[in-house]
Structure 1
Amino acid sequence: MIIKTKVPKKAFLKLLILLLLLQSCGKSGDGLISSALSSSEIDWISEKTQNLILYAPEDSYAAENLAELKIQAETARQQVMERLQVVKQEAAPSLLFLESREEMQEFTGIAAGGRTVVEENGAFFTMNDAVNPPLRHELGHLYSWRSWGPPAGYWLSEGVAVYAAGDCRGEDLHAWAAKLTSENKLQDFSLLEQDLDFSSAAAHLQAGSFVKYVMEKYGVRSFRLIWEEGLSASSDATGLEMDALLDQWTGHIMQKEFTAAAQFLDLDTKISCE
């Protein structure tokens, strides 16, 4: 006998969002890292640090600069761990450095500067003499997902990664958010929760500024409630209802120290915060 169970619409939507999140962050069970490392197309060399395992194609730019890269990766890891207050310790992540976005497309399915593969505890990076790997950004994705589980929305994951990377182009994330406000480019958070525009630097900067504000004013425990449940958990997380919390954040980013810096910033779609 076959028993059919109807899934409530809200539960179905939540499941669908979770599946999309897992796919976006590389947690899809596709063995991307193991497949890349076993590929006959690349002869890999590897080096271990105290907390990481780095892989680079033989004779690549990354391989030639592996000694310095090891230091950079360990420094990035320490910064991300401190910023996110991550305390979970586990096996060393695998960091794979490819030479071009074309190789990233071939091995990960996306032509990006980086891709985190949560399920395999690792990440891919593009690195050459013109491109620096977004170490803190991808490690921000990796450590948050593996320590806290999947978020309520991808905007939170991206916001954490932007926050983990620190200031953007040498300016505070709140200054960038103030610039967005002055140019009427802040997005309604209800839309941000529904669908993060990956092509929009504005959406990433907005998410990063909000995450920074909640993390630094209310602490990681409060932020994790929002990470797990979304903005609907604002009251439990901060004591403020969602609209009041967003108004508080807006008031903070419009302080003179941020608006003064914002007037000199140049918004474009290619802003990279690593």
Structure 2
Amino acid sequence: MTRGHGLTVIILLGWSIALLSGCGPTTAPAPTSQPHDLLQATAGPTSTPGARPGATSVSQATAGPTSTPEATAGLPFTPEATAGEQAYPIYDIGLGTTWDDRPMAFLLTELAALNPADPAFEQQLRWGWGLLYERYSEVEVLELILSWEERYSMIFDATVSDWKALTAGQLPWAAFWDRLERQLVDLETGDLYEGSDVDAFLAELATGAVPSERPTLPAAPTPSPTRLALPTAGPAPTRPQPTTPPGIVLGATYEDPAGFFTIDYPNGWLARKSGSEMQFRADAQGNTAVAISLQIKALSAQALVDDFSTFFSERWDNYQEVSRETSTISGYPAVWVEQTYSYDGTPQHGLLVGVVRNRVGFLLIAWSPEEEYAEREPYFRAIVQSLRLTDFPEAPPYEEWSSYKGEHLVFHYLPGTWVARQIRSIAADHEQAFEDIVRILDVDYRGPIDFYLYTSEESFYRATARDAGFAIPAGNEVHSQWYAPDHHQSLGHEMTHVITYWTLGEPSEALFGEGIAVCLDHSGKDYRQIGADLDAQGQLIPLAQMLGDAWFDYENAYPVSGSFVCFLLERYGVSPFKEAYPQSDLEAALKQAYGKDLATLEQEWLEWLRSY
């Protein structure tokens, strides 16, 4: 379980982007400071002559289902099962870290029995985990990487605490198995199976038949209970198909479970999910690999690559852009960066590539040790160029949408929809809200703001990979769900994020950033009454507990913040609010702007609510 890039633009630019989007926090893992694990070389008997630079593992490929004396020569132990005389091949064994920085040990072997119900299956897995724990008892995760007939690759991760409970008889095998993190990849089709779907697949495969149907997979990278189930694959792309460079053979295909893309990679490489990205590894540790991840709120391939190039340059030693070039991938503009850097003193060489369809970005990162790059580069480029983006008919490219320009706002929508028929009245309502917000904030902002109005959940998701409406303030954009005349987002919330970004600056606290957007959302809601009702129900949140990232932990954070900001505007006017809004130290800013601390203002707000 080597650490992946696992990066999103939200994390890259800090929580303020999530704040300005008008939505909750990202669920993606925190960014790592390097693209992959480069395991530290160790001296002594565990190091194997000729091993990959930076690896602690012992690589001894063996043929057949059992190890031979020749195959295990040089290993620091003899691989034997915990019961009986069965022995298993060890292709690789060593140390690494999980994507969330937990120390782990891994073992790569060949699966001897396919059916999880077969006692031999359990015996081999117990042997593998036992071997890892015996040798690396200080780690937290024990990972088995198993292959079957050079087509299927499986990963079974057990925590050391669960393993100890199992071996002590405190945890039954069935319960232990259910708690494993398990994945299976079909290296020919690219299909990914997880959890109980792995069990069902293996059981059917053990009968001699390849399952005819794929399991039900998550419909989105970050599933949401509020979004309807979406199909796992979209229509065949209609744009030009990629061509593979001469002499390069990519024999395996991976299909994105959410249906956004397919991509090819060489037979024999391992397809492995790591955090928010999918990796295709030439070796078990991921020292040489290509990773792809979806990036939300992507304005262009150029902007996407610029953001990540800047991010990497601040975190990797000796980072340099060797070259830049542009091309098309799957018919969409793409930007390529060849980059070099050092990680833990080891020179690295690779590619950073971005391509964007509507507002979904596809970030591809390839890496290898410097001395291997010349050999690996043609494969990297072939893999990247094989990317095929799905063209969804319900969310065609934005250049195929209709547009309507008002005085300050520009609206984009699909032709033939109810929005197209009522665009003049919709635009007039938004223009009025715009003028009200600018007047209340007392700012000079004239736009324009581009509004993208989506008339179905499917259209919204396929164009943005998001479930909730959002703003991209730096791009002067609002993406809004406008499903029916009586089912749409508020007129002003996301618009306020854009206006305040350009006139007040970026807020340091969601209490103010989301509070002003809620207060000025033009939804017709009375946030003084809503606050009073929450107070009467004992559901108000102490404001001091809502500072920083803790804001996102509370279900009522939006209405509470909106009510508090509405109070500040009504009682003190907008000037002190504007003064305090962008300051990094909110408590100090409140004392400077209002002459009072947060606790005093909160008490006044509560009295305001209780007198309603």
TM-score scaled by structure 2?
Answer: 0.36
Shift of residue 72, structure 1, vs aligned partner: 1.3
**Is contact 2:299-2:359 (8 Å) kept?**
no
Give 2:422's aligned amino acid: N
Give 2:358's aligned amino acid: A
**Is contact 2:438-2:445 (8 Å) kept?**
no
What is the root-mean-square deviation of aligned Cα atoms in Å? 2.8
Question: Of 212, 221, 236, which residue of structure 1 is paired with 2:575?
Answer: 221
Shift of residue 60, structure 1, vs aligned partner: 1.7
Name the SS for the 1:150 alignment partner: coil
Shift of residue 18, structure 1, vs aligned partner: 6.5
Question: Of 156, 162, 165, which residue of structure 1 is paired with 2:518?
Answer: 162
Cα 1:144–1:79, aligned 2, differ >3 Å: closer, same or farther? same
Superposed, 1:23-102 pairs within 5 Å as 23-26=18-21, 30-31=298-299, 35-36=357-358, 41-42=396-397, 43-89=400-446, 91-102=447-458
* Aligned equivalents of 1:18, 1:178: Cα separation in 2: 36
**Is contact 1:51-1:74 (8 Å) kept?**
yes
**Is contact 1:108-1:115 (8 Å) kept?**
no
Q: Greater strand percent: which structure?
A: 2
**Is contact 1:151-1:157 (8 Å) kept?**
yes
**Is contact 1:37-1:44 (8 Å) kept?**
no
* Aligned equivalents of 2:588, 2:528: Cα separation in 1: 23
* Aligned equivalents of 2:494, 2:592: Cα separation in 1: 29
Cα 1:48–1:198, aligned 2, differ >3 Å: closer, same or farther? farther
Corresponding position: 1:126 with 2:126: no
- Looking at CA atoms only, which structure, 1 or 2, has the larger radius of gyration? 2
* Aligned equivalents of 1:249, 1:98: Cα separation in 2: 37
**Is contact 1:17-1:153 (8 Å) kept?**
no
* Aligned equivalents of 1:193, 1:254: Cα separation in 2: 24
Corresponding position: 1:182 with 2:450: no
Greater displacement, 117-126 / 190-199: 190-199
Residue matched to 2:471: 116
**Is contact 2:509-2:547 (8 Å) kept?**
yes
CA deviations 1:30-62 (Å, max 9, x no partner) are: 207x95289962421111111111111111221
Name the SS for the 1:53 alignment partner: strand
Cα 1:153–1:103, aligned 2, differ >3 Å: closer, same or farther? farther
* Aligned equivalents of 1:60, 1:226: Cα separation in 2: 43
CA deviations 1:132-188 (Å, max 9, x no partner) are: 23221111111112211110112321111111124654xx21111111111111112
Residue matched to 1:272: none
Shift of residue 245, structure 1, vs aligned partner: 1.5
Give 1:225's aligned amino acid: E
Shift of residue 25, structure 1, vs aligned partner: 2.8
Cα 1:26–1:180, aligned 2, differ >3 Å: closer, same or farther? closer
* Aligned equivalents of 1:104, 1:36: Cα separation in 2: 11
Name the SS for the 2:541 alignment partner: coil
Q: What fraction of aligned residue pairs are identical, expressed as a percent?
A: 19
CA deviations 1:177-236 (Å, max 9, x no partner) are: 111111111112122113223772x22111011111112222222112332232442211
**Is contact 1:26-1:119 (8 Å) kept?**
no
Name the SS for the 1:80 alignment partner: helix
Cα 1:179–1:134, aligned 2, differ >3 Å: closer, same or farther? same
Name the SS for the 1:125 alignment partner: strand
Name the SS for the 2:429 alignment partner: helix
**Is contact 1:94-1:123 (8 Å) kept?**
yes
Corresponding position: 1:203 with 2:525: no
Give 2:445's aligned amino acid: K
TM-score scaled by structure 1?
Answer: 0.76
**Is contact 2:406-2:431 (8 Å) kept?**
yes
Shift of residue 254, structure 1, vs aligned partner: 0.9
Q: Greater helix percent: which structure?
A: 1
* Aligned equivalents of 2:429, 2:297: Cα separation in 1: 29
CA deviations 1:88-117 (Å, max 9, x no partner) are: 33x4111111122333233333211x2111
Give 1:128's aligned amino acid: Y
Give 2:482's aligned amino acid: M
* Aligned equivalents of 1:125, 1:198: Cα separation in 2: 24
Cα 1:72–1:35, aligned 2, differ >3 Å: closer, same or farther? farther
Q: Structure 2, unaligned stretches of length 5 or more?
A: 1-10, 23-295, 301-355, 361-389
Cα 1:175–1:240, aligned 2, differ >3 Å: closer, same or farther? same
Give 1:80's aligned amino acid: I
**Is contact 2:493-2:521 (8 Å) kept?**
yes
Residue matched to 1:4: none
Greater displacement, 156-165 / 190-199: 190-199
Shift of residue 83, structure 1, vs aligned partner: 2.5
Question: Of 6, 15, 18, which residue of structure 2 is paired with 1:20?
Answer: 15
Name the SS for the 1:50 alignment partner: coil
Q: Structure 1, unaligned stretches of length 5 or more?
A: 1-15, 259-274
Which structure has the higher relative contact order (CA within 8 Å, separation 6+)? 1
**Is contact 1:137-1:161 (8 Å) kept?**
yes
Count of matched residue pairs: 236
* Aligned equivalents of 1:204, 1:19: Cα separation in 2: 19
